[in-house]
């Protein structure tokens, strides 16, 4: 007799697994950046439209396919048509690429978490030089947070050609990150089902604590005003729409095969339409919620830097012109500068090159995403908070939960097709298959712990799963609607769930979503072609 397929203990477990997978680092470090770049509040217009015409329909499609075929990506697409096995194989390969580099972020989060218990925080001050007469020059030229990230964490090389040696501390953190992932996926849905309650719910607890703290910080309102002030002219910018579509697409984790794998452990009668709507709305709401937290901290950091800059100018002018202490303030600074320039032109011209131009708007416009936001901007803000160790521990604990939650989905996309294979599962138990996948990924992942590892990370992050995913999801929608047949799939869904498919889903699957994917694909392809020589940013220790 054929083995019965394991199931989620409750439908809630399945929903939490999907939320834990979809709500990841992109919600915290990519969405706020896009808001900043494309018009603050006005970016929500293309974002919500893309959620409705692309995110929800494609999420529902993948969940429905997984639940109907009750197999991982390879088996599911082979059942649709024997010629479509390659779509499943492509999903597994892309998920393997993702796992190789994604867990490195968790390794970095572990590294920062362990350092968060020190007082003072190691990135809050520059270390002293060899003869203890001053600070290390590289740190003074950059900042203590940049120095800790580029030199202490990555020990980064000047270019990708100089690969350097494996850094043993990040390497140990990577082994730890893979060990944690292995323990979470050890027994398939049994163990994953219990872990997702934590990885789905705890990040929200941390975000709520951070929201309360963020709103009470000095200058938080400046950041929130910047976020919520819509720049309507950005709606005419095609890049705003393309980035909204891309963010929805990658944030929900479409095309990797993870959603198909999760849905394959559902009861056939499960209402996956309702779950698709719930997961996509929660995912997008989290992005907006995380942005409010991020922008309140942005506002605090920008205001802190702006006021520090003003204080330096005030001190410089007070000392240079022997002014009375307390006479110069932020309010009368501009008038006094004009007076000094006209009354003492020669002396003012000597001092002028040292006077910085302080601007709150410029501070707020400094847009950072990805690792720069997580490990430099946030740590910069945290070091200036009271009880900074507590906020640092909370923040990196949240990053870890988000990262591990996404890794559970990424590994499920690889493991489900492997454990479904009768050939592999007849020779190896589930635990051994999971162990081998984790071991292989960890071994290849050591590349990212070398001195040039950060550059390789950027290459994988930018190119491993962009065009390929668009192509996979396009193949999926065409396969269901035109090879398998939309009416046949509709009758399958009705037999499974007892609900008829309404016109909205049919219109999106049959026309709107595929056209949108094709246009995104063309844009990315033309963008690659017109970019010319690909460049990357390198760290120059001397500058």
Q: Which residues are annotated as a binding site for Na(+)?
A: 22-23, 27, 251, 283, 402, 406
Q: What is the distance between the alpha carbons of residues 85 and 421, in angstroms, rounded to a whole number? A: 13
| 383, 123 contact by CB (below 8 A) | yes
Show the tokens assigned to 43. Answer: 């970016």
Torsion region of 493: left, alpha or beta (phi above 0 gives left; psi -120 to 50 gives alpha): alpha
What letter would DSSP give residue 135?
B
| 285, 21 contact by CB (below 8 A) | no
Q: For residue 518, what are the contacts with CB-CB under 8 A and spacing of at least 6?
A: 474
Binding residues: 22-23, 27, 251, 283, 402, 406
| 195, 493 contact by CB (below 8 A) | no
Output the DSSP codes for 155-192.
---SSTT---PBPHHHHHHHHHHHHHHHHHHTTTHHHH
Distances (CA, A) of 167 to 151, 157, 164, 453, 498: 11, 12, 9, 10, 56
First to last CA, the chain: 68
Q: What is the distance between the alpha carbons of residues 447 and 457, in angstroms, rounded to a whole number? A: 9
Closest CA to 147 of 170, 128, 123, 164: 123
Show the tokens assigned to 244. Answer: 């909204």
């Amino acid at each position: 007799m054929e083995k019965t397929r394991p199931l989620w203990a409750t439908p809630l477990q399945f929903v939490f697994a999907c939320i834990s997978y979809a709500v990841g680092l992109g919600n915290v470090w990519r969405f706020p950046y896009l808001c900043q770049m494309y018009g603050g509040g006005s970016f929500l217009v293309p974002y919500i439209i893309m959620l409705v015409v692309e995110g929800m329909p494609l999420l529902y499609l993948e969940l429905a396919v997984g639940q109907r075929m009750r197999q991982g990506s390879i088996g599911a697409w082979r059942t649709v048509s024997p010629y479509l096995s390659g779509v499943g194989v492509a999903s597994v390969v892309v998920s393997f690429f993702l796992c190789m580099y994604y867990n490195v972020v968790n390794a970095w989060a572990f590294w920062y978490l362990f350092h968060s218990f020190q007082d003072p925080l190691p990135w809050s001050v520059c270390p002293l030089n060899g003869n203890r007469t001053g600070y290390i020059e590289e740190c003074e030229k950059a900042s203590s947070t940049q120095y800790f990230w580029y030199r202490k964490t990555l020990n980064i090389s000047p270019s990708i050609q100089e690969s350097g040696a494996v850094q043993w501390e990040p390497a140990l953190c990577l082994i730890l990150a893979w060990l944690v992932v292995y323990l979470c996926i050890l027994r398939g849905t049994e163990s994953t089902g219990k872990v997702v309650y934590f990885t789905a719910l705890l990040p929200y607890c941390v975000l709520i604590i951070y929201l309360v703290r963020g709103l009470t910080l000095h200058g938080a309102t400046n950041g929130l005003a910047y976020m919520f002030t819509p720049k309507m002219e950005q709606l005419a910018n095609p890049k705003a729409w393309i980035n909204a579509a891309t963010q929805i697409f990658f944030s929900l984790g479409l095309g990797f095969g993870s959603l198909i794998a999760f849905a394959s452990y559902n009861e056939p009668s499960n209402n996956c339409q309702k779950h698709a709507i719930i997961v996509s709305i929660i995912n997008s709401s989290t992005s907006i919620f995380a942005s409010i937290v991020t922008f309140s901290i942005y506002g605090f950091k920008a205001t802190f830097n702006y006021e520090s800059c003003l204080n330096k100018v005030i001190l410089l002018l007070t000392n240079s012109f022997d002014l009375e202490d307390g006479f110069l303030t932020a309010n009368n600074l501009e008038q006094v500068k004009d007076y000094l320039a006209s009354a003492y032109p020669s002396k003012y011209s000597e001092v002028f090159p040292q006077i910085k131009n302080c601007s709150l708007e410029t501070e707020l416009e400094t847009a950072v995403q990805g690792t720069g936001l997580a490990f430099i901007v946030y740590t910069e803000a945290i070091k200036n908070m009271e009880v900074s160790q507590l906020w640092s521990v909370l923040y990196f604990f949240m990053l870890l939960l988000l990262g591990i939650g996404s890794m559970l989905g990424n590994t499920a996309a690889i493991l489900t097709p492997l454990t479904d294979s009768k050939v592999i599962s007849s020779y190896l138990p589930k635990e051994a298959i999971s162990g081998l996948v984790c071991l292989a990924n960890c071994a290849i992942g050591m590349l990212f712990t070398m001195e040039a590892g950060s550059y390789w990370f950027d290459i994988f992050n930018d190119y491993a799963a962009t065009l390929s995913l668009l192509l996979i999801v396009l193949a999926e929608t065409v396969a269901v609607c035109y090879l398998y047949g939309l009416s046949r799939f509709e009758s399958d869904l009705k037999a499974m769930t007892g609900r008829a498919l309404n016109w909205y889903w049919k219109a999106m699957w049959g026309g709107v979503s595929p056209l949108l994917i094709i246009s995104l694909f063309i844009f990315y392809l033309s963008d690659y072609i017109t970019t010319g020589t690909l460049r990357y940013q390198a760290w120059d220790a001397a500058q």
